[in-house]
Amino acid sequence: MAGNLTTYLILSFFLLACGLYGLLKRRNLIALLISIELILNGAAISFLAFNRFLFPASNLGEVFIVFIISLAAAEAAIALSLILAVHQSIKTHNIETMDKLKG
Amino acid sequence: MIAADLLLIAFAAFIIVGGFLAVEARNIFHNALYFGLALVGVAGIYILLGSEFLGLVQILVYVGAILVAIIFAIMITPALFLKRSPRNTLKQIVAAASGFGVSALLLFLCLQSKPVSWNQKISFTEDVFSIKQVGAMLLSKYALPFEIISVVLLIAIIGALLNAREEN
């Protein structure tokens, strides 16, 4: 089971499913950010699994996962600063109340 | 079962429980903690797939920096104490159907080819510490994305600082 590519693909697609489900269901801004990070982690697992099983001599998947983690950190920083900025003007976290273009 | 199977079952349990409860729990702080559990499971999967550098980087950066920043944002903004809106059941069913449906469809398409197992013929003659190989690749062949990532991180820091400033 640990030597099969299918197992890691199932894990990667399970994280994608949870991230999509949370992204469509939750209304809290921070929960949306957590769902996006879950999707990114699922994609990263599938990168490394394909690298190890189909192209064992290369390590391009590892290099790409370093880029994915750095970009996820940058995106989380900006998203959290946006959440702080929104919260200073609108005192709520419910995304359904943010339907005006000007704060 | 061999040890790799047991470790895989343990880390897969972390990922499944953490990933599902990170979007299903009602309290936002519980979401963040279950997300941390899923990240530790993903780090274990990285180590199991043979790249210990990525497992440690995952714990350092994702659990140690991103999760901590999310918990800071939960603590600073009073997200824990706001009253909850009533649940929309139809929206929940549509979200579950589309999320799990799309992912099941993609998984079904991925499994159409013949199953691939571990290639035992690759022999590790040289040293295979992953940090050495990743470092060599990052500085020789992928130096341009490496430098651009630094610029992106710098812009992200400046943007985050400018955004969260209070209007005077």
Per residue of chain A (103 residues), give pLDDT as tens: 777 788 898 999 999 999 999 998 888 889 999 999 999 999 999 999 988 888 877 888 999 999 999 999 999 999 999 888 888 777 766 777 776 766 5
Please give the angle made by the CA atoms of B158, B162 and B167, to the nearest 5 degrees.
170
Contacts of B163 in chain A (CB under 8 A): 78, 81-82, 84-85
List Cβ neighbours of B88 (8 Å cut-off, separation of 6 or more).
Answer: none
State the alpha helices, DSSP H only, in chain A. Answer: 5-25, 29-54, 60-89
Mean pLDDT, chain B, rounded, equals 84
* Inter-chain touch B23–A18, beta carbons under 8 Å: yes
Q: How much is the pTM?
A: 0.88
More confident of the two residues A55 and B65: B65
| B12 touches A at CB < 8 Å | yes
* Inter-chain touch A41–B62, beta carbons under 8 Å: yes
Under the banding of pLDDT at 50, 70 and 90, the label for residue B2 is confident
pLDDT of residue B1 exceeding 70, the answer is no
- Residue B33 is encoded by which pair of tokens? 């903690």
Least CA distance to A13: which residue of chain B?
B103
Contacts of A50 in chain B (CB under 8 A): none
Instruction: Using DSSP, state whether A55 is helix, strand or coil.
Output: coil
Instruction: Using DSSP, state whether B25 is helix, strand or coil.
Output: coil
Among candidate residues B148, B168, B145, the one with its CA nearest the CA of residue A88? B168
pLDDT at B41: 96
pLDDT of residue B127 exceeding 60, the answer is no
Using a pLDDT cut of 70, give the percent of chain B over it. 83
CA pair distance A45, A30, nearest whole angstrom: 23
CA pair distance B22, B32, nearest whole angstrom: 7
Look up residue A51 and give its amino acid. N
* Inter-chain touch A34–B58, beta carbons under 8 Å: no
Spacing of C-alpha B23 from chain mean position: 14
Q: What b/e sequence results for A9-47 when a residue is b if at least 16 CB atoms lie within 10 Å of its CB, and e otherwise?
A: bbbbbbbbbbbbbbbbbbbbbbbbbbbbbbbbbbbbbbb
